Amino acid sequence: MTVTLNLNPETVHRLSEKAASRGQTLEAYLDQLATEPAAGNLAFADQSPVAWIDAWRAWASSHRILSSVADDSRESIYSDQSE
């Protein structure tokens, strides 16, 4: 099956670099990305709670830490409304 994706050039460049760093073609890398999540979701059902927590923590730590905290207090949400 052929699928056409309209991606911006920067996205194509980043994906191509990731594919090359793994020794894969862009097509092979995208195929791997498309099939991994389906298999990965099933794998969690067979994991112990400790293994699942470790995987979740690894996923969480792969994201950048923001230097600011959102002010989601009731006062900030309703600051322009009288109660």
Name the pLDDT band for 77 (thresholds 50, 70, 90).
Answer: confident
Average pLDDT, the chain: 83
Name the pLDDT band for 78 (thresholds 50, 70, 90).
Answer: confident
Residue type, 40: G
Q: State both tokens at 17.
A: 């670099």
Q: State both tokens at 5.
A: 């994706």
Question: Is the residue at 69 inside a domain?
Answer: no
Q: How far apart are CA 63 and CA 65, in angstroms?
A: 7
Question: Is the residue at 1 inside a domain?
Answer: no
Q: How far apart are CA 64 and CA 55, in angstroms?
A: 17
pLDDT given for residue 39 in this prediction = 53
Question: Is the residue at 39 inside a domain?
Answer: yes
Give the distance from CA 49 to its chain's centroid. Answer: 21
Question: Is the residue at 46 inside a domain?
Answer: yes
- Give the domain range for residue 29: 9-62
Number of domains in the chain: 1
Do the Cβ atoms of 26 and 16 come closer than 8 Å? yes
